[in-house]
Amino acid sequence: MKKVVAGMLFAVLAVCVAQVSFAEEIEFLKGFTLGGGITLNLQNLQNANKAEDSDGNPIDENKTPSLGEYSVDLTVEKKFDDNNTAFIHLETGKGDINNYLNAVSGINRDADDSGVVSVTEAWFEHKFTDKFAMSFGVLDPTTAVDDNAYANDETKQFLGSMFRNAANINFADNAFGVKATYEADMIDFAVQYIDASDYKDITRNGFASAQVNFKLGFINEMDGNYRFYGWTNTNDYAKLDGTGDGKEKNYGFGLSFDQQFSDIFGGFARYSWANGAIDNEIDSSNAWSLGLQATVKGLSEKDVVALAYGQVMPSDEYKDNVNKDAKNENHLEVYYSWNVTDYLAISPNFQMVENPFYNGDDDTAYVSSVRMQISF
């Protein structure tokens, strides 16, 4: 009898321990959010202007490469409480149509040809008040400057780099940094400082930016954002005219507007000025873009069709010292997004690039794409 009672007590104890352990596990999992997406692109480029791809392989004679490309994004967020959040973003991909076109602004901002999983973001955020917060860790500099409601997501909106961010902002790569944000009903502020030295000297070489966003309902009290920003990249650059000590800094300012006009239509506008006197593989003083988006009842209840046009302009110093015949690089892009389900969108896309890398002698490039976006 004693053995039976002991056995029963042991069983009850085991169940209690298991329940406590399970409860602790459930408690630990609270606040976790897993998300991400898979982006598949089939792209064809007409009039490629590079003789070789990034691996040194010759491009076929008709200069019309077609690529199947993919990228995968995985995000993990842990919300400890209302004021403390941790976030990790992992990314990988293969295939890059940009390898075949020499242009200032790329034709697939989503392309990732690494084939390896990398940490794109890894940061911790603390909210000091319901409006003021600070983040530190591995940051994406594009999240705090030049954002836009209609042109800032290459997986669902425009593919071209020019319509994701202004073409002549000298962004640092995602790296260690700190960001502060203030969000109120009518106005937002964001400032950041991110390592631009490839983890060699963060105090000497950095990317810093500051942005103010006026959230104004100019049209029928609908959502509108009017952002003004400035930035600097303190890496050392040489002057295009060959003078100086090779320690010039880059800097610039710009604006990024988006405005909803009605339940169907919305639009955006961007302008960016940068120091065009330095050699930084962009060599532009001015860049701008405009676009419209319409939500329509097409293949599904809420499909999206959008059109954008923009220019990145060679600086006077580039014309004087590198190519006196340089012309503006012009981009046109149009896409249709068919929302097959809440988790799957298929987007035919067409782009045109005139005068790639300011070269009027190159044929105009045409890019046809079909993009599939799986979101979860």
**Helix (H/G/I), strand (E/B), else coil: 96:** coil
Exposure letters 171-209 (e unless 16+ CB within 10 A, then b): bbebbebebbbeeeeeebbbbbbbbbbeeeeeeebbbbb
Residue 79 has pLDDT above 50, yes or no: yes
SS3 assignment, position 316 = helix
Total number of residues shown for the chain: 376
pLDDT at 221 exceeding the cut of 60 = yes
pTM: 0.89
Residue 266: its pLDDT value, please?
97
Report d(CA 149, CA 269) in Å as an integer. 11
Closest CA to 97 of 373, 356, 374, 270: 356
More confident residue, 60 or 252: 252
Mean pLDDT of 169-194: 97
Q: pLDDT (tens digit, 9 = 90+) per residue, 238-266?
A: 999 999 898 999 999 999 999 999 999 99
> What's the chain's average pLDDT?
91
What tokens appear for 243 in the block?
């003078």
**What is the predicted pLDDT for the residue at 301?**
87
pLDDT tens digits, one per residue of 25-45: 566 678 899 999 999 999 999
User: What pairing do the DSSP bridges indicate for beta strands 32-46 and 66-81?
Assistant: antiparallel
Nearest to 71 by CA among 85, 55, 51, 92: 92
pLDDT at position 305? 98
What is the structure's pLDDT at 4? 41
- Looking at residue 244, what is its pLDDT? 86
Amino acid, single-letter form, for residue 186: M
Which is higher by pLDDT, 15 or 235? 235
What is the percent of the chain where pLDDT is above 90?
Answer: 82
User: In terms of pLDDT, which residue wins out, 87 or 242?
Assistant: 87
Share of the chain above pLDDT 70, in %: 89
pLDDT at 180: 98
Q: How confident is the model at residue 138 (pLDDT cuts 50, 70, 90)?
A: very high
pLDDT at 204: 92
With CA atoms as reference, report the closest residue to 108 among 99, 116, 117: 99
Q: Which of 193, 91, 73 is nearest to 139 (CA)?
A: 193
| pLDDT value, residue 71 | 97
Q: Is residue 234 helix, strand or coil? A: strand
Burial of 102 from C-beta contacts in 10 A (0-12 / 13-18 / 19+): middle
Confidence band of 61 (pLDDT split at 50, 70, 90): low
Q: Give the residue-averaged pLDDT of 18-30.
A: 55
Question: With 60 as the cut, is the pLDDT of residue 231 above it?
Answer: yes
- 133 phi-psi bin (left φ>0, alpha ψ -120 to 50, beta other): beta
Distance (Å, whole) CA 203 – CA 322: 32
Distance CA(230)–CA(144), nearest Å, equals 11
Rounded distance, CA 146 to CA 211, Å? 8
d(Cα 239, Cα 209) in Å, to the nearest integer? 23
| pLDDT tier, 18 (very low <50, low <70, confident <90, very high otherwise) | very low
Residue 289 makes CB contacts below 8 A (sequence gap 6+) with 151, 162, 163, 166, 268, 269, 270, 308, 309, 310, 311, 331
